[in-house]
C-alpha cells in the first residue's frame, strides 16, 4: 500500500466513482459551464471546468468536473478541451445553456471568443460576464478617473427620465425586451408550444396564488424547490423548465477560482512534479467531498479491482 503506483490507483478509483456520481446527478438536465485558466507551480497552463445545474430537488448546484492542461489559451483550444471533458463524462455539449467567464478577450470576444464559438453551435448558451470581475473593473476605472462618476450617473439619470416620462417609450422598451425573450426561448419552446406555455402559465399563477405554501418564498431558488416538493414541477413542466433555465445562468465564477486555490495546496513547490491525472483526481476528490461522502468504500474497492483484475485473487 506504500507503493506510489498503488496510491495513485486508489485515488484514481475514488475520482472515477465521484465522476460517476456527478454524471448521474446531472443526468439529462441542462447546465451552464464556468471556465477559467491558470498556471500551476510547474508553469503548466491548466483549465478548470465547473458545471452549474438544477438537481432533482430543485436546488441549484455547482460541481467541479476537473482540470485539463491546455497547450495554449486560444478560444479554439479551450473549446476543444471543454468538449473533450464533457464527452468524457457522458455529457452532451448541446445541453449547455449558460456560460460564465472572467471577460478576457479569448473568453468573451464578440468575434472569435470562446463564448462566440460555443454559441454558434448552441444559440441558447447565453454568456454572463462574471459580476465579481465586472465590479473589479468598475472599481479600477473609478479609482483612475473620479470625474467620470458624475458623467456616468448623469447619463443614467437622463436615460431613466427620458424613458420613464413617456408611456410610449416604456411600452416600446417592454416590447423590444419581450421580443428578445421570445427569440431566446425559440430552441427550448417552438412556436407550437408557446401557446401551450401561455395557458400553462395562467393556470400556474392562479394555482400558486391560492396555495399558502407559496406565500413566504425567499427567491426564485426557493420557488423551484417548492415546486418539486409540491409536485407542481410535474403538473407545470414548461413553467418549471423556465425556472431551471433562469437558475442555471451563472452569476460569478467563484467556484472555479476556489478550485485554483485548492490546486496550489495539492501541487506546491515540494510536489511540483505531480502528473496532470493525479492532480486532477486529488482535486476532484478533495473539492467534491460532499459527493465522496455518499460513496461507499466497497464501490471504490470494486473500481480499484476492475483496474487490474488480478487484484481480486
Supply the pLDDT for residue 105.
47
Q: How many domains does the chain have?
A: 2
Asked if residue 71 and residue 18 are part of one domain, the reply reads yes
Asked if residue 68 and residue 121 are part of one domain, the reply reads yes
Asked if residue 98 and residue 49 are part of one domain, the reply reads yes
Asked if residue 205 is part of any domain, the answer here is yes
User: Tens digit of pLDDT for each residue in 167-197?
Assistant: 788 888 878 877 776 666 667 666 667 677 7
Question: Residue 63 above 90 pLDDT?
Answer: yes
Asked if residue 83 and residue 198 are part of one domain, the reply reads no
Asked if residue 83 is part of any domain, the answer here is yes
In angstroms, the CA 66 to CA 58 distance is 24
Asked if residue 260 and residue 297 are part of one domain, the reply reads yes
Give the distance, in angstroms, between the CA of residue 184 and the centroid of all CA atoms in the same chain. 18
In angstroms, the CA 295 to CA 307 distance is 18
Asked if residue 180 is part of any domain, the answer here is no
User: Tens digit of pLDDT for each residue in 269-292?
Assistant: 777 777 888 888 999 999 999 999
Asked if residue 92 and residue 221 are part of one domain, the reply reads no
What's the average model confidence in pLDDT over 130-137?
56
Show the cell assigned to 141: 476605472
| Residue scoring higher pLDDT (306 or 104) | 306
In angstroms, the CA 278 to CA 243 distance is 38
Asked if residue 23 and residue 9 are part of one domain, the reply reads yes
* Helix residue ranges, H only, the chain: 4-26, 75-88, 105-108, 114-121, 131-144, 147-164, 167-184, 191-209, 220-229, 232-235, 237-247, 254-266, 276-287, 289-293, 297-307
For residue 306, the domain's CATH number is: 3.30.420
Asked if residue 119 is part of any domain, the answer here is yes
Asked if residue 63 and residue 204 are part of one domain, the reply reads no
Amino acid at each position: 500500500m506504500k507503493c506510489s503506483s498503488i496510491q495513485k490507483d486508489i485515488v484514481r478509483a475514488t475520482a472515477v466513482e465521484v465522476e460517476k456520481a456527478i454524471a448521474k446527478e446531472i443526468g439529462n438536465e441542462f447546465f451552464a459551464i464556468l471556465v477559467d485558466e491558470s498556471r500551476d507551480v510547474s508553469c503548466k497552463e491548466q483549465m478548470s471546468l465547473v458545471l452549474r445545474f438544477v438537481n432533482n430537488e430543485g436546488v441549484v448546484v455547482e460541481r467541479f468536473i476537473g482540470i485539463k492542461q491546455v497547450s495554449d489559451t486560444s478560444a479554439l483550444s479551450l473549446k476543444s478541451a471543454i468538449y473533450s471533458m464533457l464527452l468524457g463524462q457522458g455529457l452532451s455539449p448541446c445541453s449547455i445553456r449558460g456560460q460564465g467567464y472572467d471577460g478576457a478577450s479569448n473568453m468573451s470576444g464578440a468575434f472569435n471568443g470562446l463564448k462566440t464559438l460555443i454559441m454558434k453551435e448552441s444559440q441558447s448558451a447565453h454568456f454572463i460576464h462574471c459580476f465579481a470581475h465586472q465590479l473589479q473593473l468598475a472599481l479600477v476605472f473609478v479609482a483612475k478617473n473620479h470625474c467620470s462618476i458624475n458623467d456616468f450617473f448623469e447619463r443614467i439619470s437622463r436615460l431613466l427620465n427620458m424613458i420613464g416620462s413617456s408611456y410610449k417609450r416604456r411600452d416600446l422598451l417592454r416590447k423590444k425586451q419581450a421580443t428578445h425573450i421570445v427569440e431566446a426561448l425559440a430552441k427550448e419552446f417552438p412556436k407550437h408550444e408557446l401557446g401551450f406555455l401561455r395557458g400553462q402559465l395562467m393556470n400556474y399563477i392562479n394555482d400558486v396564488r391560492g396555495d399558502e405554501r407559496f406565500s413566504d418564498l425567499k427567491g426564485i431558488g426557493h420557488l423551484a424547490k417548492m415546486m418539486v416538493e409540491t409536485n407542481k414541477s410535474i403538473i407545470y413542466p414548461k413553467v418549471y423548465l423556465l425556472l431551471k433555465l433562469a437558475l442555471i445562468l451563472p452569476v460569478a465564477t467563484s467556484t472555479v477560482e476556489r478550485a485554483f486555490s485548492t490546486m496550489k495546496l495539492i501541487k506546491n513547490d515540494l510536489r511540483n512534479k505531480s502528473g496532470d491525472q493525479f492532480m486532477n483526481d486529488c482535486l476532484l476528490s478533495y473539492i467534491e467531498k460532499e459527493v465522496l461522502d455518499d460513496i461507499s468504500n466497497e464501490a471504490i474497492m470494486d473500481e480499484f479491482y476492475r483496474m487490474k483484475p488480478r487484484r481480486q485473487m
